[in-house]
Chain A
Amino acid sequence: MLVYTLHIFNRSGTCMYYREWSRPVPNSDLKSNNKLMFGFLFSLKQLVAKISPRKGGGFYACSTNVFKLNYFETPSGHRFILCTDLSAGDMREPLRHIYSHIFVECLVKNPLWRPNEEITNANFVQSIEKYITSL
């Protein structure tokens, strides 16, 4: 499996973290692309809730013929988005792992980290790096 990119957004749509591993087509305008991404996810979530025949649940992945977007949202409003190639299986567990073992341990428990700020914490960056390459 090939991992392309990882985004972490907060509830208000600020991109707190972005990392590229492989992206043959360069991301030309990061800021507006992030905004498009968040807007898309936000609308998709609402759409899914509206058309769903039963209460509860939400989408967790969608794909094109080129890549797959894996989505994980916490009740506290953090959104983790991992773009991979099409061979990726269900990525909810890995994304949950990133949240509960890396995000919480390196950031939430770190008094120097300010919520909703861009993430620069070295420990976090390294742990992400290590975990993604192990996938």
Chain B
Amino acid sequence: MAHLRKTGDAVFSKVEKVNSELFSLTYGAIVTQLLKDYEEVDATNEQLEKMGYNIGIRLVDEFLAKAQISSCQNFSETAEVIAKVGFKMFLGVTAEVTNSNASEFSLQLTDNPLAEFVELPEQYSQLSYSNMLCGVLRGALEMVQMRVECTLTKDALWGDDVTELRVVLKELMDEEYKDDDE
């Protein structure tokens, strides 16, 4: 997987950067605003995922355009590409792939740029703070014909050592062409 790491570094050097503190704080502002607007944790988690989805369906094109990688042969390769190239390109960090098989994998982040300065207050202890990442993965993979479910299974903010995203493949979507004449 060394070549993927290299691709990740190469793409990272090509993309525009933004100050990481500004990024973390902006994300924090979005989350707090959502908590205010939706007033409860579950609805906020859901909304974060939805926002992520809308980001993901666009972000995949930028990823494909810049990373110039060929299509993945299997789902484990997809996991590695996301961990080493995708995360590096957009967040500047890489993830570790664990528990990977033909239809699911986990991504572990030791360093989560989204949650840089965050502590969860008691009443929000169930908040999936980084749930937007789940949505991004779901949206991006859907655009390349993989329907997945993605959940935040561990979070450093919940007291775990790492932040972990679990991705489960539900369906490989077939391309079909509907002729509306018939």
Interface residues of A (CB under 8 A from B): 11-13, 35, 38-39, 42, 74-78, 99-101, 103-104, 108-109, 115
Given contact pairs A13-B177, A39-B177, A76-B60, A104 touches B143 in the complex (Cβ within 8 A): no
Q: Which residues of B contact A76 (CB under 8 A)?
A: 60-61, 64, 143-144
Given contact pairs A75-B144, A77-B143, A100-B66, A108 touches B177 in the complex (Cβ within 8 A): no
CA–CA, A75 and B72, complex, Å: 10
Q: Which residues of A contact B60 (CB under 8 A)?
A: 76
Query: Across the interface, do A115 and B65 meet the contact criterion of CB distance under 8 Å?
Result: no
Query: Across the interface, do A75 and B179 meet the contact criterion of CB distance under 8 Å?
Result: no
Q: Which residues of A contact B65 (CB under 8 A)?
A: 74, 99-101, 103-104
Query: Across the interface, do B62 and A108 meet the contact criterion of CB distance under 8 Å?
Result: yes
Q: Which residues of B contact A100 (CB under 8 A)?
A: 64-66, 68
Q: Does B175 contact A (CB under 8 A)?
A: yes
CA–CA, A108 and B54, complex, Å: 11
CA–CA, A35 and B180, complex, Å: 10
CA–CA, A87 and B145, complex, Å: 36
Q: Does B71 contact A (CB under 8 A)?
A: yes
Number of A-B contacts (CB under 8 A): 43
Given contact pairs A39-B179, A75-B144, A115 touches B57 in the complex (Cβ within 8 A): yes
What are 14 A-to-B residue pairs whose CB atoms are below 8 Å? A11-B175, A12-B178, A13-B178, A35-B179, A74-B61, A74-B65, A75-B71, A76-B64, A100-B65, A101-B65, A103-B65, A108-B58, A108-B61, A115-B57
Query: Across the interface, do B62 and A109 meet the contact criterion of CB distance under 8 Å?
Result: yes
B67 (CB) vs chain A CBs: closest residue: A100
CB-contacts of B156-182 with A (<8 A): 175, 177-179
Query: Across the interface, do B177 and A104 meet the contact criterion of CB distance under 8 Å?
Result: no
Given contact pairs A13-B177, A38-B177, A100-B66, A115 touches B58 in the complex (Cβ within 8 A): yes
Given contact pairs A108-B58, A115-B58, A74 touches B64 in the complex (Cβ within 8 A): yes
B66 (CB) vs chain A CBs: closest residue: A100
